[in-house]
Structure 1
């Protein structure tokens, strides 16, 4: 394994370590559990602590900086349903929109750590591509993304998931109705966010395009309600999520849903996240190219 985390790739780690890290990321084990079990798996001369540091996100280099002159960023409070207060979100717009200009809006749904710097960067990339991006933070009711990935994972375990789902439905409705929206809504989400996007497709009939990255399916009995066109991305080395795909695939076919699904061989869950060694540049570039092509075709 490389001693320089910024140069590490998934290939630098044994598959068993990556599987253990996946359990850690998704709250199956805590930090102590990873360190104890990881100590039995790492190579001689390396510590489990060093491995965890190498696998953890490095937010130092955003692809689109917050101060990029091509975009404007605002912070907005979206009313949450049933008297739950608000859900905070960033809204990123292409710079220089005319007063009466209208753009498609894309809801960006984060992983299981809240609105962290990587997801904000995804929203900024979409604005550079000409879309209005709305990125809510499901952790709003617990104080918001805490600036620390471990703390964020802990908070996610305390999150009222039923409330979070309603928050994202409310955010989708808010995004579509914004004054500078052209009324055409898409959604993209990653891991936890991929599952939320699958859920939104069953709950928001005006959603035109839904792109879940390695996300779990919605309740299968709700699949016939999907009106959006789906583009589903899966990692080849992701047995946990991929094991749920065959039944979802059958349900989509039975419902006559418009969809395409791609499994990217030999890449890890989280392959689109360029802040971690699980990032795969080739697979991520292809998946993102397909994503933007769908948005261009369905939201113009």
Structure 2
């Protein structure tokens, strides 16, 4: 499965460019929330590219947006249908061959982003959930990445973290049981590999706490994580 051209939402700063940011979406795909976050980073001076790496698997932005809205429906019977529908639509994306395609495609987006005026080699990746996992993967696969900020994601392959050559700020909520269970192993692997790794865990926050379009939004944690991310990007780039 070779890399290919995909849709990329581009948010362009109105003033000085502080660097280039590759923003990787959640399992919902390139939905309105991600486009909004891209715009917020552009307002802070980061030329932000948000690629769509799930339409190829069947999770188009239209379908993803419909599922997001369904997850917020006041009717509980409708809400409970979201998870099986999401798994059905996104299932192909969890094939190892798809992952190879996705990383190669993301590197192609980095090629374009790196060539833009004002970026000057200052490249970072930030992603949420599904995109958090791919943030780890891209940092390991592309040494042009100077900073990585995975929100509630985990490396798909702990053995690959030794290839990460940039600082990593990983952000979690302590109610995210699966990721909390695996975090000690991630920290150990990062330490063994000599990666500059920081994990920030927010008490009381759940998975997807940053998503203000979702039911688990935690305003206090999200506000702090936003500022923490900006500070990290500023230092790293």
- Higher helix proportion: 2
Larger RCO, structure (CA 8 Å, separation 6 or more): 2
TM-score of the aligned structures, taking structure 2 as reference length: 0.83
Distance 1:143 1:255 in 2: 35
The superposition leaves residues 7-31 of structure 1 with CA deviations (integer Å, 9 ceiling, x where unpaired) of xxxxxxxxxxxxxxxxxxxxxxxxx
Q: Is the 8 A contact 1:112 1:153 kept in 2?
A: no
The superposition leaves residues 101-139 of structure 1 with CA deviations (integer Å, 9 ceiling, x where unpaired) of 654000000001110000001100000111100000013
- Which SS does the other structure have where 1:186 is aligned? strand
Match of 1:125 in 2: 40
Matched, 1:194 2:132: yes
Matched, 1:87 2:3: no
Match of 2:60 in 1: 144
Match of 1:244 in 2: 182
Distance 1:210 1:171 in 2: 16
The superposition leaves residues 46-68 of structure 1 with CA deviations (integer Å, 9 ceiling, x where unpaired) of xxxxxxxxxxxxxxxxxxxxxxx
Q: CA deviation at 1:204?
A: 1.0
Q: Is the 8 A contact 1:217 1:245 kept in 2?
A: no
Pairs within 5 Å for 1:86-125: 86-95=5-14, 97=15, 103-125=18-40
- Higher strand proportion: 1
Number of residue pairs matched by the alignment: 214
Distance 1:178 1:144 in 2: 27
Moved over 4 A (4+): 150-153
Q: Where does structure 1 lack aligned partners over 5 or more consecutive residues?
A: 1-80
Out of 258, 261, 265, which is 2:196 matched to?
258
Q: Is the 8 A contact 1:197 1:211 kept in 2?
A: yes
- Which SS does the other structure have where 1:86 is aligned? coil
Q: Where does structure 2 lack aligned partners over 5 or more consecutive residues?
A: 68-81
Is the radius of gyration larger for structure 1 or structure 2? 1
RMSD between aligned residues: 2.0
The superposition leaves residues 248-280 of structure 1 with CA deviations (integer Å, 9 ceiling, x where unpaired) of 100111111112111111111111111123111
Pairs within 5 Å for 1:9-24: none
Match of 2:75 in 1: none
Matched, 1:156 2:90: yes
Q: CA deviation at 1:185?
A: 0.3
